[in-house]
Structures are given as structure tokens and as C-alpha cells.
Amino acid sequence: MFTIKELAQPDTLTEAYNLLIAKKNNAVLGGCAFLRMGSYPIATAVDLTKLNLSFIREADDYIEIGAMTTFREIEVSPILQQYANGVLPKAVSHVLGVQFRSVVTVGASVYAKYGFSDLITALLALNAEIELVQGGRMRLAEFLEKPLTKDILSRIWIRKLECRASYQTLRMSASDYPLLNAAVTQTGSHWLVAVGARPRKAAIAQQLSAALSASKIDLEQLDFFANIASEELSFGTNARGTAQYRRAMCKVLIKRAIKEVLMCESV
Amino acid sequence: MRISVTINDKMVHLDVEFDEFLADALRKHGFFSIRKGCDTSCCGLCTVWVDGRPTLSCSVLAFRVDGKTITTIEGVQQEAEQFAQILAAEGAEQCGFCSPGFIMTVLAMKKELTQPTEEQIIHYLTGNLCRCTGYMGQLRAVKMYLGGTA
Ligand SMILES: Cc1cc2nc3c(=O)[nH]c(=O)nc-3n(C[C@H](O)[C@H](O)[C@H](O)COP(=O)(O)OP(=O)(O)OC[C@H]3O[C@@H](n4cnc5c(N)ncnc54)[C@H](O)[C@@H]3O)c2cc1C
Ligand code: FES
Ligand code: FES
């Protein structure tokens, strides 16, 4: 179990960031579900609860999600349930049970770039942007490519578009980590496909996204499209499955997702 | 650090360490219904309500509930007993170690969902593990409790 020597509850994000970088073993507290699995001795724990980062807000063009928002808040948010066929609530609804999802936070989950993340895959397909206190605002896809620096993720933006979406996951049992997950969105003629838990962190299937965006798709061609993603992405082996199995299952999830998108109403 | 919380309708002041989790703080205060099965956020045994929402007390730092309302099974005794009787009648309780957490989740579900389908019930209860019963008896008991037939 981790230990905490001092606790700081800053009033501004700048103050929080300065506290975080003041010492190597200072750390931000998210929901602490992952932190508690380790035995990290934290010198000063930076608690963000006074910064009002628990929110899901809708503006004309964007949906904005604060870093301390829990997975459960995402799951039951009417704003998110109504946007893009509820792809974000669907993605997080697979993560353990309701009482766990009331604890874990969005900021920590995205910042930590977990390979198995359900949330990151769905956010990638929505072309989300994130904001870091020091690193500034950038696309999530760009953030995932950068080396991890000590920073605080404060919020996430999703541009509101006429978007249809599907989220698919394969798990060995209901509450286990995903063996593989995929999210597909269609905005007008533009498609975006993301695959995660490969088991490496989620990535956009660029070639497949481009191919779908350039074609008029019919259900007969699904095998052809699904093959593109399974060939262009790399897959690895861990306790839950081999690279070969993941590659094969990737085709299945992508086919299901494209089919679902083609059949669903845009929201 | 001193925190003030309302536990089962009673205001309580607790002295907690910065790295102390709610489950430990509550047990220290005599709420022995709170059990830890895994201590890795997986089993749901330690479920209590924080501001009415089912939450894993093993995974919430105690200082974070300052000013909030906590409900343990002692605070919902009547409803808990009513459901526990159905659980027992359905053979869905053996060692009983998982029961307080399970009951707290079922009672929360009852407040939150109106006439849930079997699929919704199973989904809501995914986070509560039971190593004895095999879940079918629990499902029957939940359906009966919610007013239908198993
Ligand atoms: C048993 C278990 C099973 C899980 N299963 C799944 C699953 O199936 N699918 C899935 O998607 N996820 C799963 N997760 C991960 C979970 O959903 C969260 O992503 C994870 O727990 C981190 O969230 P947290 O709020 O608990 O973060 P914490 O544990 O508090 O923090 C994690 C890390 O992020 C840092 N941090 C916290 N907040 C911020 C911030 N705002 N900015 C920068 N850094 C920050 C912390 O210092 C720490 O290093 C699982 C986790 C556990 C423990
Ligand atoms: S003890 Fe809290 S989830 Fe198992
Ligand atoms: S009755 Fe024994 S663990 Fe559930």
C-alpha cells in the first residue's frame, strides 16, 4: 500500500502543479484505486478535490469533462448518453462494478495511458483533446505518443459533431481487464477507428480510417476492411491472450463496430 | 487529520491518517459489518454508500469523505433484514461474508433503477463477488425482492 507523508489541497491548478514538481516523490491523487495497488511512498500527496474538476459540461461546440469526474458520472451522464450513441458511457460501463466506477477518475485514467484502458480507446475514436497544466492543450492521439512527464491533466474536450459510434470489447469474464477493445466513429464521411488493449496502449488504425472515409461501404465488404486494421496494427502477448489471438479477434470487433455504426442513428 | 462525517444519520468526528482508507477508519470506529475480501478493489465486499452512492470503502481515502454522508448496513437495518431473509430462503447465503456489501449494492440498485431487467440487474451487481453460492440463488432473491417472481 502507498504511504502519504503530507497532504496538500491546493486552490489553483498552478499551485497544484508547483507542489507536484517540487519533489520527485510528490504525486497527484486521482481516485487512488491504482495508486493503492503499489507501495509508493508519497512525500506530498496533491489532492485536487478543491479545484472543482468534477464536471461534465455541454457548450455549443464541445463537451468538457473535468479530471476528477468519476467513471460512474460518465456512465450516468445524460449529456454523454445522448452523444455519439452513448459510446463513452458504454465504454466505461464494462469496468468492474458500479461501486468501483464511483471511485476511479477520468484524469488519472487518461494521464496514465494504461494499455488496457476502455476509456482511452473510446476517447481516441471521438478525436478528443486533453489539457495539461504545463503541457497545454493537445489532441489525445498526440499526447499518447509523447513521453510521460510530470504534469496534471485537468480536462478533456470532445468536439460536438453529428457522430455515430460503436464500442466493442472482448473480456475473459465480465469484470476482467479487456483482452482487446475497439471504438469506431463516423462523422459525415469521416471515419475514425481506435483499437486498445493490444495489450499496448490504444492507437488509431490510420489506414482503415482512411479507407473507410474514402469508400461507400456496404456490409459485404466488412471482411476486407477488418483485415486492414488487423494487418496495420501491432499486437502483443500477455496472460490474457496471444498476439495471434488478438489479431484474429481484432477483425471480429472491428466488423461488429462498423456494422453497428452503419445501422445506428446519428446523435 | 480530523474529519466530520454523518454516519447512519449521526454526526461523527474521526481522526484519520492521510493514507487511511475509509474501510479501516469505519472498522476502527466499530462498524464491523464492513469487510475486506480482496483489498484490491475487485470484490465489492466493502461497499458502503457515500452520499447515497455505492462506493468501495477499501479504495476511498478517509479524509475525502469529510463533510459527506456515509451509510453502512447498520443504517438500513430494516430493508437489509427484509432482503437477507429472501437471500437465505433462496439458499443464496452460505458463509455470509459477502452479504453486507452485496445487500448494500442491491438496496442502492432498488433506489436507482425502476423495474430493472435481468440484464440490468446482473450488470449492476457485477462488482460483488461471492465465492460460495454461484449467483443463481442471489439473482432469484433479487428478483423476488424487487417485486417480481424468480
Ligand atoms: C482492479 C482494477 C481493475 C481495473 N480494470 C480496468 C478495466 O477493465 N478497464 C479500464 O479501462 N480500467 C481499469 N482499471 C483502471 C481504472 O479504470 C483507472 O483507470 C485507474 O484506477 C486509475 O484511476 P484512479 O482514479 O484510481 O487513479 P489513481 O490511482 O489515483 O492514479 C493513477 C496515477 O495517475 C496519477 N494521477 C491521478 N490523477 C491525475 C491527473 N489528473 N493528472 C495527472 N496524473 C494524475 C497518479 O499520481 C497515479 O500515478 C482497473 C483498475 C483496477 C485497480
Ligand atoms: S475489499 Fe474492497 S473491493 Fe474487495
Ligand atoms: S456466501 Fe460466502 S462468499 Fe458469498
Model confidence over A121-146: pLDDT tens digits?
Answer: 999 999 999 999 999 999 999 999 99
* Mean predicted confidence (pLDDT) in B84-97: 92
* Mean predicted confidence (pLDDT) in A163-183: 95
Q: Which ligand is nearest to the CA of B48?
A: 2
**Distances in whole angstroms, Cα of residue B111 to Cα of each of A78, A90, B55, B107:** 18, 22, 15, 6
Q: In this model, does residue A49 exceed pLDDT 70?
A: yes
A264 in contact with B at a CB cutoff of 8 Å? no
B132 and B86, same structural domain? yes
Whole-number pLDDT of residue B51: 97
Distance CA B48, CA B31 (A): 11
Hey, are the CB atoms on B18 and A4 less than 8 Å from each other?
A: yes
B93 and B51, same structural domain? no
Q: With left for phi above 0 and alpha for psi between -120 and 50, is residue B145 left, alpha or beta?
A: alpha
Number of H helices, E strands in chain B: 5, 5
Model confidence over B135-147: pLDDT tens digits?
Answer: 999 999 999 999 8
Model confidence over B66-85: pLDDT tens digits?
Answer: 999 999 999 999 999 999 99
Model confidence over A244-261: pLDDT tens digits?
Answer: 999 999 999 999 999 999
B102 in contact with A at a CB cutoff of 8 Å? no
The average confidence (pLDDT) of chain A is 96
- H/E stretch holding B59 reads none
Hey, are the CB atoms on B55 and A99 less than 8 Å from each other?
A: yes
B126 and B82, same structural domain? yes
Structure-block grid coordinates of residue A50 = 478543491
Domain range for residue B98? 76-145
Q: In this model, does residue A220 exceed pLDDT 90?
A: no
B67 and B11, same structural domain? yes
B7 domain-assigned:
yes
Q: Which of B74, B89, B119 is the last residue of a domain?
A: B74
Q: Which residues of A199-213 are buried (b: 16+ CB within 10 A; e: fewer)?
A: bbbbbbbeebbebbe
User: What global pTM score does this model have?
Assistant: 0.96
B40 domain-assigned:
yes
DSSP E strands, chain B: 2-7, 10-15, 47-50, 53-56, 69-71
Distance CA A117, CA A47 (A): 23
Confidence of residue A174 (pLDDT cuts 50, 70, 90): confident
CATH number, domain of B96, equals 1.10.150.120
Whether residue A168 contacts residue A162, with contact meaning beta carbons closer than 8 Å, is answered with: no
Whole-number pLDDT of residue B149: 53
Hey, are the CB atoms on B19 and A4 less than 8 Å from each other?
A: yes
B106 in contact with A at a CB cutoff of 8 Å? no
Distance CA B130, CA B99 (A): 8
Whole-number pLDDT of residue B148: 61
Q: In this model, does residue A266 exceed pLDDT 60?
A: no
Structure-block grid coordinates of residue B37 = 475480501
Distance CA A99, CA A66 (A): 20
B82 and B140, same structural domain? yes
Whole-number pLDDT of residue B39: 85
